[in-house]
């Protein structure tokens, strides 16, 4: 069973390397967030269950063009600061409210990011989830994402910043599947559970009252 | 006249029971819920005695005006507000000096808990609204704010747990209610700590007491804060534990 | 924070590593204090306090008013503080900000909670008319520790304050009927936490370096009348104990001057 920890809770008193979301004090390793303490003999780390997106180099994100500047575009990636996308290499001008996928090429110490390798989307839907749940939606070696693609027949692009673009196939089923992953992200054998869920066809589950993950 | 009436009130009787039946080291009933607002980064709601307090966190986000930003760390902006109907005599909605001081000390209390250096040039805004109050609204505000911050996923060293202790009728007691606060020789001491490290981040005192009374009061406050901490942790873990139990049954 | 102050704050910290303060005071020593009483003639009571180079002026004005509904036979005091822009490049003009509000409320707490003033003596007609003593503090130079300087100035001005005569529910200008007598002299002592040290009466450079601040008001009969922890750092119980013991001891020196 996975252990849920909160800020200030001891992860381990053993001598391990400090992983994500931990800090060392008086020889003990503590968690800095609400999350799951990972079991690893060498590294102590916590996977957060809550939080907003912090840009990292080489992450693929899904952003929305906000405005055009002289040398590029400002892009909203649902993080603390807006990002900048250079015009270099972009053939057709991008209009505000266009949705693009892009790669983060640079992050400064103020968590402001530069984007590159952009690709606009046409049509389709954007689903917003908490960015901390994205690793679960992708799964180990993309296994969960494969299950989702096969189970719904949709084209899916997952942004590390908590936005998912999908087109075609059964979008309604995809939304329900993502909601289920969000709720059960901390549980074991989730990939198998999702495969079962999707192969049941149209489940008779009651629709949730709130819409899929509000933007944080 | 009111003064004569007060002389006759027995704040702690021979059985060690207070006006509302509590023992001197007993907290009022309290309930905390985390993550109840969809549009904030994080939120929490607390019912503590008659107090009903809602805390919501936004950010870290851009600081406007820009000159107020700190290039080395996030700034914390704590806004404590009381609804006009939260007190017996309608309160002016405009924040008064008391609201401003409480906002200041509560914001400062949270600064030590948060890893501010991870978010330079940003602001973490905490909004706390008191909808009903009966003594201890500031410690309720701080306790709820700390849960809201954890709910927002903002990295913290520890939660902040707070409680007020005081002296009434010669006894050092935990978690005064309004009738007790109004006592003639009352002392009111709100305390906020990082419960895993015993670091004091909020400490004020109103009243007149001796050094030995201080010793008793701070010991009782630390104990009370740790009880509050348990409730904060339960509130944060609650939504995941329920699902975990269900998962195991499948 | 201008670069000069960052350099000074660094100097404070390196001096402390060798167990010293920049101005070579002991950790529990006040700077030189000068108190001038009864300086402003239009005020009903006044004082000017210079602590190191921190300079604060206080004036008392009695105003007639209605008593609060739950204290029909008592007058009251109201403390206000203004950090004048001329006192420091850090102070901006405008309505009182949270720093000056906190300052005023902490000074008020020490005076009020120590029961130094018998508010019943400020009652003129129960339920109808009482004296309200407004004490207004103006910081005219900031060199650290406004808290203690303001507290001493407020106390000194109240010790000198004369109660105006009242005829037909109006104050008679220029005529007084005796002094406001205080039964206790509460003194506020403020400490800066830097590293693991608690330093009494922080200078400006020490304030730039401090992580947390702690103030405690004490009375001559060894009672504690107010606590206020300030700023974003934390303090330990041992820190507070040290501050209480030191304040009880050192406040006696201040009281001698009043």
Least Cα separation, residue A134 to chain B (angstroms): 15
- Distance between CA atoms of A1 and A24, rounded to whole angstroms? 24
Superfamily of domain A60-120: Nucleic acid-binding proteins (2.40.50.140)
Point out the residue among B41, B62, B244 whose CB comes nearest to the CB of A187.
Answer: B244
Topology agreement, domain A3-48 and domain A60-120: yes
**Which positions in chain C touch B111 (Cβ < 8 Å)?**
231-233
Band (B8; pLDDT cuts 50, 70, 90): low
- On whether any CB of chain B is under 8 Å from the CB of C231, the answer is yes
Mark yes or no for CB contact C229/B210 under 8 Å: no
- Pairing assessment for the beta strands A163-167 and A155-158 based on DSSP bridges: antiparallel
- Round to whole Å and give the CA distance between A169 and A177: 13
Helix, strand, or coil here: C5? helix
Q: What does the domain layout of chain C look like in residue ranges? A: 3-257
pLDDT tens digits along B90-121:
888 899 999 999 999 999 999 999 999 998 88
d(Cα B78, Cα B175) in Å, to the nearest integer? 23
Pairing of strands B161-168, B171-174: antiparallel
The two tokens of residue A117 are 């390798």
How far are the Cα atoms of B105, B107, B127, C72 from residue B78, in angstroms, in the given order?
9, 5, 6, 36
The reported pLDDT for the residue numbered C95 is 83
Residue B188 has pLDDT above 60, yes or no: yes
* Closest alpha carbon within chain B to A8: B158
Whether the CA torsion B216, B219, B223, B226 is positive or negative: it is: positive
Question: Which pLDDT band holds residue C3 (cuts at 50, 70, 90)?
Answer: low
For residue B188, the number of C-alpha atoms closer than 13 Å in the C-beta half-sphere is 17
**Does the beta-carbon distance from B154 to A184 stay under 8 Å?**
no
Q: Does residue B238 belong to the interface with chain A, where contact is any CB pair within 8 Å?
A: no
- On chain B, the residues whose CB falls within 8 A of the CB of A205 are none
B199 CB neighbours in chain C (<8 A) are 234-236
What is the Cα–Cα distance from A136 to A181, expressed in whole angstroms? 7
CA B234, B237, B243, B245 dihedral sign is negative
Helix, strand or coil for residue B66? helix
In the CATH scheme, what architecture does the domain A125-199 have? 2-Layer Sandwich (3.30)
The helix (run of H) or strand (run of E) holding residue C213 is strand C212-218
Q: How many interface pairs between B and C have CB atoms less than 8 angstroms apart? A: 89
Q: Distances in Å between the alpha carbon of C205 and those of C6, C9, C194?
A: 9, 6, 11
Q: Nearest CB to A184: which of B194, B196, B247? A: B247
A90 touching B, CB under 8 A?
no
Any A CB within 8 A of B244 CB:
yes
Classified as helix, coil or strand, B140 is helix
Q: What does the pLDDT look like over A123-160, one tens digit per residue? A: 888 888 888 889 889 988 888 999 899 889 999 999 99
A178-212 pLDDT tens trace: 988 887 877 778 888 888 888 875 443 432 223 24
- Average confidence score pLDDT of chain C: 92
* Separation of alpha carbons A64 and A59, rounded Å: 16
- Look at residue C225 and give its three-state secondary structure: strand
Residue A205, phi then psi, degrees to nearest 5: -65, 145
What ipTM, to 2 d.p.? 0.89
Top CATH class of C3-257 equals alpha beta
**Residue ranges of domains in chain B:** 17-249
Q: Is the CB of residue C94 less than 8 Å away from at least one CB of chain B?
A: no
* pLDDT value of residue A206: 33
For A26, the closest chain B residue by CA position comes to B197
- Output C94 or B160, whichever has higher pLDDT: B160
Whether the per-residue pLDDT at C6 is higher than 70: the answer is: no
Model confidence at C10: pLDDT above 60: yes
C235/B contact by beta carbon, under 8 A: yes
Alpha carbon of C109: minimum distance to chain B alpha carbons (Å): 7
The tens digit of pLDDT for each residue in C92-102 reads 878 888 999 99
Q: Determine, for residues C113 and B208 on separate chains, whether the beta-carbon distance falls below 8 Å.
A: yes
Considering only alpha carbons, which residue of chain C is nearest residue B68?
Answer: C1
Please, are residues C102 and C118 in contact by the beta-carbon 8 Å criterion? no
Burial class (CB in 10 A: 0-12, 13-18, 19+), C177: exposed
Residue of B70, B99, B207 for testing the chain C interface, max C β-carbons within 10 Å: B207
Question: Given a contact as 3+ CB pairs under 8 Å, which chains touch C?
Answer: B
| B87 touches C: beta carbon within 8 Å | no
Which CATH superfamily groups domain B17-249? GHMP Kinase, N-terminal domain (3.30.230.70)
Number of Cβ pairs closer than 8 Å across A and B? 99
What is the SS3 assignment for C152?
helix
Residues 6+ apart with CB under 8 A from C143: C51, C52, C53, C54, C55, C203, C204
What is the rounded CA–CA span in Å between residue B49 and residue B31? 9
Q: What CATH number does domain A3-48 carry, 2.60.40.10, 3.40.50.300, 2.40.420.20, 2.40.50.100?
A: 2.40.50.100
Helix, strand, coil % over all residues of chain C, rounded to 5:
30, 35, 35
Closest chain A CA to residue B60: A80
Residue of C nearest to B107 (CA): C232
The rounded percent of chain C whose pLDDT value lies above 70 is: 97
DSSP code for A183? H
B196 pLDDT more than 80: yes
pLDDT tens-digit series, residues C210-221: 999 999 999 999
Nearest CA in chain A to B159: A7
Listed in sequence order, the residues at least 6 apart from C227 whose beta carbon sits closer than 8 Å to its beta carbon are B189, B203, B204, B205, C214, C215, C216, C240
C-beta of residue A165 within 8 angstroms of C-beta of residue A156: yes
Q: Select the residue of B76, B105, B199 nearest C234 (Cβ to Cβ).
A: B199
Residues C199, C29: contact at Cβ < 8 Å?
A: no
Query: Under an 8 A CB cutoff, do A50 and B233 touch?
Result: no
Q: For residue A169, what are its two tokens?
A: 């196939």
Inform me whether the C-beta atom of residue C66 falls under 8 Å from chain B C-beta atoms.
no
Other C-beta atoms closer than 10 Å to the C-beta of C29 total 15
For chain B, say whether C220 makes contact (Cβ under 8 Å).
Answer: no
Q: Is B43 helix (H, G, I), strand (E, B) or coil?
A: strand
Query: How far is residue A163's CA from residue B72's CA, in Å, rounded to a whole number?
Result: 30
């Amino acid at each position: 069973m996975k252990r849920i920890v909160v800020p200030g809770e001891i992860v381990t008193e053993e001598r391990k390397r400090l992983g994500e979301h931990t800090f060392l004090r008086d020889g003990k390793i503590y968690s800095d967030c609400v999350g799951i303490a990972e079991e690893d003999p060498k590294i102590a780390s916590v996977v957060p269950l809550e939080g907003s997106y912090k840009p990292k180099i080489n992450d693929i994100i899904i952003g929305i063009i906000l405005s055009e500047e002289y040398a590029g575009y400002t892009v909203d990636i649902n993080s603390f600061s807006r990002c900048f996308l250079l015009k270099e290499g972009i053939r057709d001008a991008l209009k505000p409210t266009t949705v693009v996928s892009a790669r983060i090429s640079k992050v400064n110490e103020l968590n402001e990011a530069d984007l590159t390798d952009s690709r606009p989307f046409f049509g389709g839907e954007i689903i917003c989830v908490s960015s901390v749940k994205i690793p679960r939606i992708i799964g180990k070696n993309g296994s969960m994402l494969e299950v989702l693609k096969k189970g719904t027949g949709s084209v899916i692009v997952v942004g590390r910043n908590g936005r998912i673009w999908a087109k075609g196939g059964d979008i309604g089923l995809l939304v329900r599947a993502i909601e289920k992953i969000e709720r059960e992200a901390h549980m074991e054998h989730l990939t198998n559970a999702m495969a079962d869920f999707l192969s049941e066809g149209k489940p008779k589950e009651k629709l949730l009252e709130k819409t899929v993950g509000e933007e944080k | 006249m009111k003064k004569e009436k007060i002389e006759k009130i027995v704040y702690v009787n021979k059985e060690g029971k207070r006006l509302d039946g509590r023992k001197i080291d007993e907290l009022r009933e309290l309930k905390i819920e985390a993550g109840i607002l969809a549009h904030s980064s994080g939120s929490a709601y607390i019912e503590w005695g008659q107090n009903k307090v809602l805390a919501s966190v936004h950010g870290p986000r851009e600081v406007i005006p820009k000159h107020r930003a700190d290039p080395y760390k996030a700034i914390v902006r704590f806004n404590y507000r009381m609804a006009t109907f939260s007190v017996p005599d309608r309160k002016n909605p405009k924040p008064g000096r008391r609201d401003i001081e409480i906002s200041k000390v509560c914001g400062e209390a949270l600064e030590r808990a948060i890893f501010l250096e991870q978010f330079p040039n940003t602001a973490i805004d905490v909004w706390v609204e008191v909808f009903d109050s009966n003594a201890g609204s500031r410690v309720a505000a701080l306790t709820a704010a700390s849960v809201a911050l954890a709910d927002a996923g903002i990295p913290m060293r520890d939660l902040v747990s707070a409680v007020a202790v005081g002296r009434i009728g010669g006894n050092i007691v935990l978690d005064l209610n309004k009738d007790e606060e109004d006592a003639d020789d009352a002392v009111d001491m709100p305390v906020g700590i990082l419960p895993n490290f015993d670091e004091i981040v909020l400490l004020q005192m109103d009243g007149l007491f001796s050094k030995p009374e201080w010793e008793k009061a701070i010991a009782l406050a630390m104990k009370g804060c740790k009880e509050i901490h348990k409730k904060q942790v339960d509130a944060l873990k609650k939504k995941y534990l329920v699902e975990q139990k269900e998962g195991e049954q499948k | 924070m201008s670069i000069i102050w960052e350099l000074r704050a660094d100097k404070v910290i390196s001096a402390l590593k060798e167990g010293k303060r920049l101005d070579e005071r002991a950790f529990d020593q006040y700077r030189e204090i000068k108190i001038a009483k009864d300086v402003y003639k239009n005020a009903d009571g006044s004082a000017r306090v210079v602590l190191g180079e921190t300079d604060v002026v206080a004036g008392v004005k009695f105003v007639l008013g209605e008593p609060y509904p739950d204290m029909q036979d008592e007058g009251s005091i109201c403390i206000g503080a203004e950090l004048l822009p001329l006192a420091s490049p850090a102070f901006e003009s405008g309505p009182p900000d949270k720093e000056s509000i906190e300052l005023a409320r902490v000074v008020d707490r020490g005076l009020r909670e120590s029961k130094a003033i018998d508010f019943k003596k400020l009652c003129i007609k129960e339920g109808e008319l009482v004296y309200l003593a407004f004490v207004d503090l103006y910081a005219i130079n900031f060199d650290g520790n406004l808290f203690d300087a303001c507290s001493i100035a407020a106390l000194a001005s109240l010790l000198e304050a004369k109660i105006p005569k009242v005829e037909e529910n109006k104050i008679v200008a220029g005529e007084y009927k005796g002094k406001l007598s205080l039964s206790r002299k509460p003194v506020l002592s403020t400490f800066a936490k830097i590293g693991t040290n608690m330093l009494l009466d922080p200078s400006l450079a020490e304030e730039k370096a401090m992580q947390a601040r702690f103030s405690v008001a004490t009375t001559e009969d060894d009672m504690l009348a107010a606590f206020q922890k300030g700023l974003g750092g934390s303090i330990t119980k041992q820190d507070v104990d040290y501050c209480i013991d030191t304040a009880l001891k050192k406040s006696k020196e201040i009281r001698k001057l009043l």
